[in-house]
Amino acid sequence: MPYASTGDGQVYYEVNGEGPALVLLHGGGGNHAAWYQQVPHFKKKYQVITVDLPGFGLSRIESGRFDTGTHPEAIQAVLDHAGIDLAFLVTQSLGGYSGLSYTVNNTDRIAGLIMTSTLGPVGDEISELNAKGREQVKHLSVADFLLTKEFQAEQEERVHLFFQVGSFNQTGPGRPNRLRNSLQGSVPVQQIRDAIKAGVHITILEGGADVMVYAPAYARLRELLPEANVQLVEGAPHSDYWENPERFNAVVDEILDGAYRAG
């Protein structure tokens, strides 16, 4: 089992398939195992790397510091340990914080980024709008935040598996250690623009049925950052990768195909 070392512990990751490197960064309720419906699909064309961000899955933190601010270093460590010079990142929810932060600060290592289920790391007025959206859903339970009521009612086994995967984490929803999110609102819009100018493809997916989506925030981001692909996915909930893997995989496939053709 491969581990990459950071200044504060060991980062677990797995590699499947061959081709251009595709790194999958999980959300707050997941870890590397959460991508079980994506890895068999994408490994046919890509070298798929699934990572346990520090505090999640099999990764371990020596200091006990649970903070998203440590996560970009983990991405760097995995790329170096795996011998990957250039990668495309696909992130879900929490993974978008470190994914976006790492991307804009390491444009020589990242070919592109697909960020789903969050605008949280984006700064400036987007951060203020995103905070309004979070305020509207603060009353929701963890289950209702992460999964739709329809899915919970109809897919009892997969709902149970979802939370079983998350039970191996040290931090995250329902886990014993609180995760500090120092990357909240940390990436200015101009820095994203600069990364795109440097040749990095950036797509930000807006889930049409995501309870966390605050439509005015995405609308304003489209105005502020026309260089990016801020794309609406009709009907997609917060955990579309889990609830509707066929749709999620198809959307990602189309974006990757277009990005590599353009490149």
Instruction: Give the model confidence (pLDDT) of 78-91 as tens digits.
Output: 999 999 999 999 99
pLDDT in the model for residue 263: 73
pLDDT in the model for residue 123: 98
Instruction: Give the model confidence (pLDDT) of 24-83 as tens digits.
Output: 999 999 999 999 999 999 999 999 999 999 999 999 999 999 999 999 999 999 999 999
* Residue 86 DSSP class: S
Distance CA 245, CA 119 (A): 21
Average pLDDT, the chain: 97
- DSSP symbols for 93-161: TTHHHHHHHHHHH-TTTEEEEEEES--TTB-HHHHHHHHHHHHHTTTS-HHHHHS-HHHHHH-HHHHHH
Buried b (16+ CB within 10 A) or exposed e, 207-229: bebbbbbbeebbebbbebbeebb
Q: How many CB atoms lie within 10 A of CB 4?
A: 21
Residue type, 23: V
Tokens 């984006």 found at: 122
- DSSP symbols for 173-230: TTSSBPPB-TTTT-B-HHHHHHHHHTT-EEEEEEETT-TT--HHHHHHHHHH-TTSEE
User: What percentage of the chain exceeds 90 in pLDDT?
Assistant: 95
Q: How many residues does this entry show for the chain?
A: 263
pLDDT at 179 over 80: yes
Please report which confidence band the pLDDT of residue 206 belongs to, taking 50, 70 and 90 as the band edges.
Answer: very high
pLDDT in the model for residue 27: 98
Q: Which residues contact 79 (CB under 8 A, 6 or more apart)?
A: 21, 23, 85, 87, 109
CATH topology of domain 3-256: Rossmann fold (3.40.50)
pLDDT in the model for residue 136: 86
Please report which confidence band the pLDDT of residue 261 belongs to, taking 50, 70 and 90 as the band edges.
Answer: confident
Q: Is 28 in a helix, a strand, or coil? A: coil
pLDDT in the model for residue 182: 98
The phi and psi torsions of 218 (rounded to 5 degrees) equal -70, -40
pLDDT at 262 over 90: no
Instruction: Give the model confidence (pLDDT) of 219-260 as tens digits.
Output: 999 999 999 999 999 999 999 999 999 999 999 999 999 999
pLDDT in the model for residue 142: 92
Query: How many helices and strands (H and E) does the chain possess?
Result: 11, 9
